[in-house]
Amino acid sequence: MSTKVKRAIFILILSEFLVCLGIGLVIPVMPFLKTELHLSAFDMGIMTSLFAFAQFITSPIIGRISDRVGRKPILAIGLALYAVSEVLFALTNYLAMFDISRVIGGISAAMVTPTGMALAADITTKRQRAKVIGWLSAAFSGGLILGPGIGGILAGINYKAPFWIAGALGLLSTIALLTMLPKDDDIEQPNHDVAQMQHDISTMKGDWHDLLIKPVILLFVLILVSSFGLQGFESIYSLFVNEVFHFSIGNIALVLTLNGLISLFFQVMLFDRLVVRLHETKLIRYCFFLAFAGTIWIIFAHSKIEVIIATLFVFTAFDLLRPAITTLLTKLSAKNQGLINGLNMSLTSVGNVIGPLMSGALLDMNTHYPYVVVSVFLAASYLLTFAVKIKAHHIA
């Protein structure tokens, strides 16, 4: 790996971490904001949905644009928009402006995360890619883990302080990326044989037809199901364990903290080794099975310790699923990295909207219904992984 490639990866990891830290900062403030400004639960739901909807609509479009104009401009604009969205949220007390801020935030997320993954795929070899995507996933998780705690401390000063800090982090990320990230043309591409290089140059823009192969379509389906399952599981987790097992806030915080630490360890230290040892297809299959088994265990659990252990299995499986699927997708098309990662983010957004709505509605009927439905989808996904057959000519 050349010095410029290493520097580019470092900037991508730093930017991902700072943005996710900023996202995490505002999480503990949202309930207080609702009370302070006399907003309804429906108002808060609209804000969340607008972020996900904007992300869903724009991700594949922006991914396609980044394939054509380059990664650095899209990343810089995305980080700048993130700073704007957080500052706007800090400045206003009007619901309409909050909604506009969330739309801008959704667009910025659609520009930063998939484009960062696409650039990482552009500048790494297939052998290096799992490790780098694991690092980016760890930066994402690390920011979200540390953010709420820091946000809670800052909110003690002023409930708008986390939004100002998040905006400042976005601005710093933009400056760091513009000054330190080399231009796309200046970053050495991984070595290919001459014939492959000539083919890539002649077809660099790619097209949708390249994505309409069975393995890619199946992987996109698995992305949708995994995001649906994760959000369906996670969105009502605190309510479920509180109602059924009488978990306190401290118990829930302990589980989430343990999960964050375990996820960081697996993504940074073990993900690359797991990919080398098992290959992505087997790792994806095992993760779906573990998530399914853990969900079933929670449904039939009788003690808190059982629930905690099963939860850690489920969350760890989901935290490995995403980078495993993403890594495999980036290997299937060398010339559509922006489009692939944009579609990846878009389908994730769909799952992020549908999952919580489904689980919330089912929870009102019966506390166990959401996890029964999630387990059915996970079991179907596990079986679907056996249909993902990666042939040599599919790998870019």
pLDDT tens column, 1-22: 677 788 888 888 888 887 777 7
Q: Which residue has the higher pLDDT, 23 or 230?
A: 230
Residue 201 falls inside a structural domain: no
A 10 A CB-CB count for 212 gives 9
pLDDT on residue 202: 39
**Confidence (pLDDT) at 188:** 60
Task: Give the pLDDT score at 383.
Answer: 92
Q: What is the pLDDT of residue 52?
A: 75
In a domain, 143, yes or no: yes
On whether residue 336 sits in a domain, the answer given is yes
What is the distance between the alpha carbons of residues 154 and 92, in angstroms, rounded to a whole number? 18
pLDDT in tens, 170-220: 898 899 888 888 776 666 666 544 444 344 433 334 454 555 567 778 888
Q: Is residue 76 part of a domain?
A: yes
Residue 297 has a pLDDT of 96
- Which tokens is 211 given? 């994505």
Q: What is the mean pLDDT of residues 163-170?
A: 88
pLDDT above 70 as % of the chain: 83
Same domain, yes or no: 62 and 122: yes
Q: Do 77 and 23 share a structural domain?
A: yes
In a domain, 200, yes or no: no
Same domain for 172 and 271, yes or no, is no
Question: Is the same domain home to 182 and 224?
Answer: no
Residues 124 and 235 in one domain: no
DSSP conformation letters of 110-161? HHHHHHHHHHHHHTS-HHHHHHHHHHHHHHHHHHHHHHHHHHHHHHTT-TTH
Residues 182, 213: one domain? no
pLDDT of residue 334: 58
Give residue 159's pLDDT band: very low, low, confident or very high (50, 70, 90).
confident
In a domain, 289, yes or no: yes
- State the average pLDDT over residues 131-139: 79
Together in a domain, 314 and 183: no
pLDDT at 51 (0 to 100): 78
> Is 168 inside a domain boundary?
yes
Q: Residue 237 belongs to a domain with what CATH number?
A: 1.20.1250.20
pLDDT digits (tens, 9 = 90+) for 93-121: 888 898 899 899 889 888 888 788 788 87
Q: Which two tokens stand for residue 306?
A: 């059982």
How many domains, in total, are found in the chain? 2
Q: Note whether residue 360 is domain-resident.
A: yes
> Tell me, what's the pLDDT at 39?
76
Cα diameter, the chain = 64
Q: Which residues form the domain of 360?
A: 208-394
What mean pLDDT is predicted for residues 294-311? 93
In the predicted structure, residue 68 carries a pLDDT above the cut 80: yes
- 100 and 148 belong to one structural domain: yes
Tell me which of 191, 223, 250 is where a domain ends.
191
Global pTM? 0.68
**How confident is the model over 368-394, as a mean pLDDT?**
83
Q: Residue 153: is its pLDDT beyond 70? A: yes
Residues 182 and 281 in one domain: no
Phi-psi category of 94—alpha, beta or left, where left has phi over 0 and alpha has psi -120 to 50?
beta
pLDDT at 157 over 90: no
Same domain, 99 and 29: yes
- Please check the confidence at residue 378 and state whether its pLDDT lies above 70: yes
Distance of CA 139 to the CA centre of its chain: 11
Rounded mean pLDDT of the chain? 79
Q: Do 295 and 374 touch, CB atoms closer than 8 A?
A: yes
